[in-house]
Structure 1
Amino acid sequence: MFGNDRERAVQFGEYMVSQKSTVRATAAAFGVSKSTVHKDLTENLPKISAVLYSEVRKILEENKEQRHIRGGLATKHKYENINNRTGI
Protein backbone atom coordinates (compact mmCIF):
# COMPACT_ATOMS: atom_id res chain seq x y z
CA MET A 1 0.00 0.00 0.00
CA PHE A 2 2.73 2.48 0.95
CA GLY A 3 6.22 2.77 -0.54
CA ASN A 4 7.91 3.61 2.74
CA ASP A 5 7.42 5.32 6.09
CA ARG A 6 8.23 8.74 4.64
CA GLU A 7 5.58 8.45 1.95
CA ARG A 8 3.07 7.15 4.45
CA ALA A 9 3.64 10.05 6.86
CA VAL A 10 3.19 12.58 4.05
CA GLN A 11 0.02 10.84 2.83
CA PHE A 12 -1.43 10.84 6.34
CA GLY A 13 -0.57 14.52 6.76
CA GLU A 14 -1.99 15.58 3.42
CA TYR A 15 -5.19 13.62 4.06
CA MET A 16 -5.62 15.07 7.53
CA VAL A 17 -5.13 18.63 6.27
CA SER A 18 -7.39 18.26 3.23
CA GLN A 19 -10.20 16.56 5.18
CA LYS A 20 -9.62 18.31 8.53
CA SER A 21 -9.98 14.83 10.00
CA THR A 22 -9.10 13.26 13.31
CA VAL A 23 -6.38 10.68 13.87
CA ARG A 24 -9.12 8.05 14.23
CA ALA A 25 -10.77 9.01 10.92
CA THR A 26 -7.42 9.10 9.14
CA ALA A 27 -6.54 5.65 10.47
CA ALA A 28 -9.89 4.28 9.31
CA ALA A 29 -9.47 5.79 5.85
CA PHE A 30 -6.07 4.12 5.39
CA GLY A 31 -6.85 0.88 7.22
CA VAL A 32 -4.10 1.27 9.83
CA SER A 33 -4.06 1.75 13.59
CA LYS A 34 -4.46 5.10 15.33
CA SER A 35 -1.04 4.67 16.92
CA THR A 36 0.58 4.26 13.49
CA VAL A 37 -1.02 7.47 12.24
CA HIS A 38 -0.16 9.40 15.40
CA LYS A 39 3.45 8.20 15.44
CA ASP A 40 3.97 9.01 11.76
CA LEU A 41 2.44 12.47 12.16
CA THR A 42 4.24 13.45 15.36
CA GLU A 43 7.62 11.73 14.99
CA ASN A 44 8.30 11.21 11.28
CA LEU A 45 6.50 14.09 9.56
CA PRO A 46 8.46 16.91 11.29
CA LYS A 47 11.69 15.44 9.87
CA ILE A 48 10.21 15.26 6.37
CA SER A 49 8.13 18.43 5.94
CA ALA A 50 8.08 21.18 8.53
CA VAL A 51 5.41 23.11 6.61
CA LEU A 52 3.00 20.19 6.41
CA TYR A 53 3.73 19.28 10.03
CA SER A 54 2.78 22.78 11.21
CA GLU A 55 -0.60 22.46 9.46
CA VAL A 56 -1.16 19.00 10.93
CA ARG A 57 -0.15 20.23 14.38
CA LYS A 58 -2.88 22.91 14.24
CA ILE A 59 -5.50 20.28 13.43
CA LEU A 60 -4.23 17.97 16.18
CA GLU A 61 -4.42 20.80 18.73
CA GLU A 62 -7.92 21.76 17.58
CA ASN A 63 -9.07 18.15 17.87
CA LYS A 64 -7.53 17.91 21.33
CA GLU A 65 -9.41 21.01 22.46
CA GLN A 66 -12.70 19.60 21.16
CA ARG A 67 -12.42 16.01 22.35
CA HIS A 68 -14.26 16.55 25.65
CA ILE A 69 -17.17 18.07 23.75
CA ARG A 70 -17.26 15.20 21.25
CA GLY A 71 -17.13 12.67 24.07
CA GLY A 72 -19.99 14.34 25.89
CA LEU A 73 -22.12 14.44 22.76
CA ALA A 74 -21.41 10.78 22.03
CA THR A 75 -22.52 9.83 25.54
CA LYS A 76 -25.65 11.98 25.22
CA HIS A 77 -26.59 10.33 21.93
CA LYS A 78 -25.92 6.89 23.35
CA TYR A 79 -28.37 7.40 26.20
CA GLU A 80 -30.93 9.11 23.98
CA ASN A 81 -30.91 6.03 21.75
CA ILE A 82 -31.23 3.69 24.74
CA ASN A 83 -34.16 5.70 26.12
CA ASN A 84 -35.88 5.80 22.73
CA ARG A 85 -35.67 2.03 22.39
CA THR A 86 -36.96 1.34 25.90
CA GLY A 87 -39.72 3.95 25.74
CA ILE A 88 -38.48 5.96 28.73
Structure 2
Amino acid sequence: MKGIVEERAVELGVYIVEQKATVRAAAKKFGVSKSTVHKDVTQRLKQIDRQLYRQVQHVLAVNKAQRHIRGGQATKEKYERLHLLKK
Protein backbone atom coordinates (compact mmCIF):
# COMPACT_ATOMS: atom_id res chain seq x y z
CA MET A 1 0.00 0.00 0.00
CA LYS A 2 1.24 3.46 -0.89
CA GLY A 3 1.76 5.99 1.84
CA ILE A 4 0.48 9.54 1.85
CA VAL A 5 3.85 10.91 0.74
CA GLU A 6 4.01 8.59 -2.27
CA GLU A 7 0.45 9.46 -3.28
CA ARG A 8 1.25 13.16 -3.03
CA ALA A 9 4.35 12.71 -5.18
CA VAL A 10 2.30 11.02 -7.91
CA GLU A 11 -0.46 13.64 -7.69
CA LEU A 12 2.11 16.43 -7.95
CA GLY A 13 3.74 14.75 -10.92
CA VAL A 14 0.46 14.31 -12.75
CA TYR A 15 -0.51 17.93 -12.05
CA ILE A 16 2.83 19.28 -13.30
CA VAL A 17 2.65 17.23 -16.52
CA GLU A 18 -1.02 17.96 -17.27
CA GLN A 19 -0.85 21.68 -16.49
CA LYS A 20 2.79 22.18 -17.54
CA ALA A 21 3.00 23.83 -14.14
CA THR A 22 6.00 25.26 -12.36
CA VAL A 23 7.15 23.96 -8.99
CA ARG A 24 5.86 27.20 -7.47
CA ALA A 25 2.40 26.78 -9.02
CA ALA A 26 2.18 23.15 -7.89
CA ALA A 27 3.23 24.11 -4.37
CA LYS A 28 0.53 26.76 -4.20
CA LYS A 29 -2.14 24.41 -5.58
CA PHE A 30 -1.33 21.60 -3.12
CA GLY A 31 -0.56 23.81 -0.12
CA VAL A 32 2.99 22.54 0.39
CA SER A 33 6.39 24.19 0.15
CA LYS A 34 8.41 24.46 -3.07
CA SER A 35 11.07 22.33 -1.38
CA THR A 36 8.54 19.58 -0.74
CA VAL A 37 7.34 19.63 -4.34
CA HIS A 38 10.88 19.54 -5.65
CA LYS A 39 11.86 16.64 -3.40
CA ASP A 40 8.69 14.71 -4.25
CA VAL A 41 9.10 15.03 -8.03
CA THR A 42 12.88 14.64 -8.24
CA GLN A 43 13.60 11.99 -5.63
CA ARG A 44 10.48 10.16 -4.51
CA LEU A 45 8.78 10.02 -7.89
CA LYS A 46 11.88 8.47 -9.45
CA GLN A 47 11.45 5.47 -7.14
CA ILE A 48 7.68 5.24 -7.61
CA ASP A 49 6.97 5.84 -11.31
CA ARG A 50 9.90 6.20 -13.71
CA GLN A 51 7.81 7.14 -16.74
CA LEU A 52 5.97 9.91 -14.90
CA TYR A 53 9.30 11.05 -13.43
CA ARG A 54 10.75 11.48 -16.95
CA GLN A 55 7.70 13.44 -18.09
CA VAL A 56 7.95 15.74 -15.07
CA GLN A 57 11.66 16.28 -15.67
CA HIS A 58 10.91 17.32 -19.25
CA VAL A 59 8.32 19.89 -18.11
CA LEU A 60 10.69 21.22 -15.44
CA ALA A 61 13.50 21.52 -17.99
CA VAL A 62 11.26 23.54 -20.31
CA ASN A 63 10.21 25.76 -17.40
CA LYS A 64 13.83 26.30 -16.43
CA ALA A 65 14.76 27.24 -19.99
CA GLN A 66 11.93 29.80 -20.09
CA ARG A 67 12.56 31.18 -16.61
CA HIS A 68 14.54 34.20 -17.76
CA ILE A 69 11.80 35.15 -20.23
CA ARG A 70 9.08 35.02 -17.56
CA GLY A 71 11.21 37.08 -15.18
CA GLY A 72 11.80 39.73 -17.80
CA GLN A 73 8.12 39.86 -18.66
CA ALA A 74 7.17 40.22 -14.99
CA THR A 75 9.64 43.09 -14.58
CA LYS A 76 8.31 44.81 -17.69
CA GLU A 77 4.73 44.54 -16.43
CA LYS A 78 5.75 45.85 -13.01
CA TYR A 79 7.26 49.01 -14.43
CA GLU A 80 4.38 49.51 -16.85
CA ARG A 81 1.99 49.44 -13.87
CA LEU A 82 4.15 51.88 -11.94
CA HIS A 83 4.29 54.19 -14.94
CA LEU A 84 0.49 54.14 -15.27
CA LEU A 85 0.06 54.95 -11.57
CA LYS A 86 2.23 58.06 -11.87
CA LYS A 87 0.00 59.54 -14.60
Asked if TM exceeds 0.5, the reply is: yes
Instruction: After the TM superposition, list the runs of 4 or more consecutive aligned residues in structure 1 that deviate by more than 4 angstroms.
Output: none
The separation in 1 between residues aligned to 2:36 and 2:55, in whole angstroms, is 19
1:8 partner letter: R
Structure 2 portions without partners, runs of 5+: none
* Secondary structure class of the residue paired with 1:76: helix
* TM, length-normalised to structure 1: 0.93
1:4 CA drift (Å): 1.4
* Other-structure match for 1:21: 21
Alignment of 1:3-82 (within 5 A): 4-82=4-82
**Structure 1 gap segments, 5+ residues each:** none
Aligned residue identity for 1:36: T
Provide the C-alpha distance between the structure 2 equivalents of 1:28 and 1:4, rounded to a whole number of angstroms.
Answer: 18
How far apart are residue 5 of structure 1 and its match?
Answer: 1.1
Q: Work out the CA distance in 1 between the residues paired with 2:83 and 2:11.
A: 42
Q: TM-score, length-normalised on structure 2? A: 0.94
Q: Distance in 1 between matches of 2:32 and 2:74?
A: 23
